[in-house]
Structure 1
Amino acid sequence: MSFKVTVKPSGHEFVVNEGETILEAALRESVMLPYGCRNGACGACKGRVLDGRVSHTSYAESSLTAAELASGISLLCSARPETDVVIESKEIGAIKDIQVKNLPCRVEKIEKVSHNVAVLYLKLPVNERLQFLAGQYIDIVMKDGKRRSFSLANAPHDDGFLQLHIRHVAGGTFSEHVFHTMKPKEILRFQGPLGSFFLREESAKPVVFVASGTGFAPVKGIVEHMIRHDIKRPTTIYWGAYNLSDIYMHELPQQWAKDHPHIRYVPVLSDPLPADNWAGRTGFVHVAVAEDIADFGNYQVYACGAPVMVEAAHKAFTAQGLDEGEFFSDAFFLSKDLKPAGQ
């Protein structure tokens, strides 16, 4: 059975077919609601149900609390209407004309940049080009149909290769393949671009990037886009990791800060090794940010990486004056973190 969804304040309407989520139907009808992971993990697609009833498929419990659920907040990527519904959600104009494609690509190069991170360079067919916004991601579709999501680390102007930063996860099907058996010229298939983690260029507010681990990948793409297009909003990049070897492209943001006076780079290590001879910031990266900025009222924050970091950053920064609508995130979840429907 199908149901009608009305989006406030835009007034856009679309029909959700049986088996679809609200987000799936919205994207099918080119109604561009904000989203990230599309599997109930990151919380980027939260909206409020103003009228009607929905049920949820699996989702990460941390992305939708019981209190939020009781107040009418819903994860639109896992919400299925049980009646006609009216929802409240922002819409995003910047991605409405970008086509999501299913494409093959060839592995051009695999570069091991640290003990647990590899940079994958993917080449598209000669007659194809992927239009995307810096910071978006793609889904690698494996032979068994399972998907693995990875942020694009290159900016759109530098699209000779699509660049992915792959962290080695013990037992992880795709990352084990990348680190141990993948060879150049291998053919992969992917869907993309996806997600709404990209720079809101209409704003003039100072930008704070908060990355942990390979959450640096989309930050890299966005900063390179900003440099290319001479976007000189005051920009601070915080990159958190365990030790210095985990800051796998340390020299790159250092060079950005050296070449561009409006860019500041702050690496933060939570567990530096004696061999690191580390004299920089230590502790949790979100704490370092909160120590440096007493009032977030005039900032935009883009946070990407481990979900515990993204959640802690959101809580801390909004408590210090950050507007909820100025926090943009992309949290890296594993499927084990999802809560089955009805639990």
Structure 2
Amino acid sequence: MSNLAQLLKESWVLVEEEHDQVAGYLYARMFLSEPSLRQLFPVHMDGQRHRLIEAVVAAVGSIDDPEQFAGYLQSLGRAHRKFQVQPAYYSIFATSFVAALRTVAGDRWTIEYDQAWADALDLLTTNMITGARSDPEPAFWHAEVLSHERRGPDVAVLTCRPLQYPLEYQAGQYVSVEAPRYAPRSWRTYSIANAPRPDNVLEFHVRAAVGGWVSSALVRRVRPGDLLRVAAPMGTMVLDRDSPRDIVCLAGGIGFAPVKALIDELTRFNRSRWVHVYLGGRSRDDLYDLSQLKQLATGYPWLNVVPCCTDDPTWSGEHGTVPEVLARYGPWNEHDFFVSGSAGMVRSSLRALAGLDVPAERIRYDSFGEV
């Protein structure tokens, strides 16, 4: 570990338990320094405070891997164009962040920590600005909602289409979505649930989370004809068409969306690779797209579907979590894996795959907080 990384780690330990105070001081300092910054943020800031701190800590955590550090931050810079962030704002953020750390840490803070964070944030903002300037695509697309179907009290499947020009993406990627009429300036990430189509239609699966302004709006308020904003695609959970290995997809809840997109793409060219889908939920109601998935399996002999539930005594299929059910079959160390679901589901799946001797380089995954 480099000296810079060591100083960052040591100093963050001093304030980690008080990260709410760090966030509060950070935003107060930024908005006092530049009042116009407030209009870039949502009215309700509770979730935003945590996400920003987590993103910064995650970014500086990779500072000893220059390629990963630069790639992640340049991608983040491109994504931040949707917030209309100007280059000058980054220096205000960096100065405010260091001041917040210094204030919360108090006498435990040193001049060495101060300089380490100043250097790290300078690298962070430089890479984000570079990424934002290098992207020729628009910051976001306006998209009209075409259909909206409720799949239970808290889940909806909706389709939309960009108005001006197509959004180019790969099956398995995700985008940030805003519903400006109902939750302005609040963006949340959702996977596109279909492979690219000639008509440019995008499908999204959304679960309304408790306190989730965007997810609740998309499930309960959005209607056909409404306009959404959709930002540039991100994510690496995409197919390797050159791989000869069979495929295993592990999905929980609305984490099925990118898996559905991968299956959609595979229906267009796959002839030789078996595809096993393990789809899990607490009850049958969580398997909201199971009937469509079974229809696909009927039409494509290479597709095998194994649904499972953890807390449904009336369920006649497999019982247990997705990793538990997966472990009953196999061996799996010669397959390519795709994992998508909540953060907890992804963590437990990755631990299970490690225990089954699946090489890490054969696993691609995304996780979602569903807010």
2:151 aligned to 113, 123, 127, which one? 113
Structure 1, gaps ≥5 residues long = 1-36, 59-79, 86-95, 336-343
The equivalent of 2:140 in structure 1 is 102
The residue number in structure 2 matching 1:138 is 175
Q: CA deviation at 1:119?
A: 0.8
Q: Is the 8 A contact 1:104 1:188 kept in 2?
A: yes
Residues 185-217 of structure 1 deviation map (CA, whole Å, 9 limit, x = unaligned):
111212021111111222111100000000111
Offset of residue 171 of structure 1 = 2.2
Counterpart position of 1:196: 236
Instruction: Provide, for residues 40-90 of structure 1, a one-character-per-residue CA deviation record: whole Å limited to 9, x for no partner.
Output: 49x8999682689x9x999xxxxxxxxxxxxxxxxxxxxx847989xxxxx
Structure 1 residues 196 and 246: alpha-carbon distance in aligned structure 2, compared to 1, 3 A threshold: same
In the alignment, structure 2 segments of 5+ residues that lack a partner are 1-50, 74-93, 98-118, 125-133
Residues 256-295 of structure 1 correspond to what in structure 2 (within 5 A)? 256-274=296-314, 278-294=315-331
Alignment of 1:50-199 (within 5 A): 81=120, 99=137, 101-125=139-163, 127-143=164-180, 144-157=184-197, 159-199=199-239
Q: What displacement does 1:159 show?
A: 4.5
CA offset at residue 162 of structure 1? 0.8
Residue 230 in structure 1 maps to residue 266 in structure 2: no
Q: Report the equivalent of 1:16.
A: none
Alignment CA distance shift 1:318-1:48 (3 Å): farther
Relative to total residues, which structure has the larger strand share, 1 or 2? 1
Partner of 1:68: none
Equivalent residue in structure 1 for 2:258, among 204, 213, 218: 218
Q: 1:322 to 1:189 in 2, by over 3 A?
A: same
Is the 1:99–1:131 contact (alpha carbons within 8 Å) kept by the matching residues of 2?
no
8 A contact 1:241–1:270 mirrored in 2: yes
Q: Which has the higher helix share?
A: 2
Q: Distance in 1 between matches of 2:175 and 2:66?
A: 33
Whether the 8 Å CA contact 2:60–2:120 is kept in 1: the answer is no
Match of 1:341 in 2: none
- Greater RCO structure (CA 8 Å; 6+ sep): 1
Equivalent position to 2:357, from 295, 299, 321: 321
Q: Which residue of 1 aligns with 2:21?
A: none
TM-score with structure 2 length normalisation? 0.62
Tell me by how many angstroms 1:325 deviates. Answer: 0.8
User: Secondary structure at 2:296's aligned position in 1?
Assistant: helix
Greater CA radius of gyration, 1 or 2?
2
> Contact 1:44–1:330 (CA<8 Å) still a contact in 2?
no
Specify whether residues 45 and 293 from structure 1 end up closer, same or farther in structure 2 by C-alpha distance, changes over 3 A only. Answer: farther
Check whether the contact 1:100–1:194 (CA below 8 A) recurs between aligned residues: no
Distance 2:284 2:199 in 1: 29
CA shift for structure 1 position 298: 0.8
Aligned to 1:26: none
Q: Provide closer, same or farther for how the CA distance between residues 198 and 303 of structure 1 changes in structure 2, counting only shifts above 3 A.
A: same
1:234 deviation in Å?
1.1
Report the residue type matching 2:154 in the other structure. N
Describe the SS at the equivalent of 2:217: helix
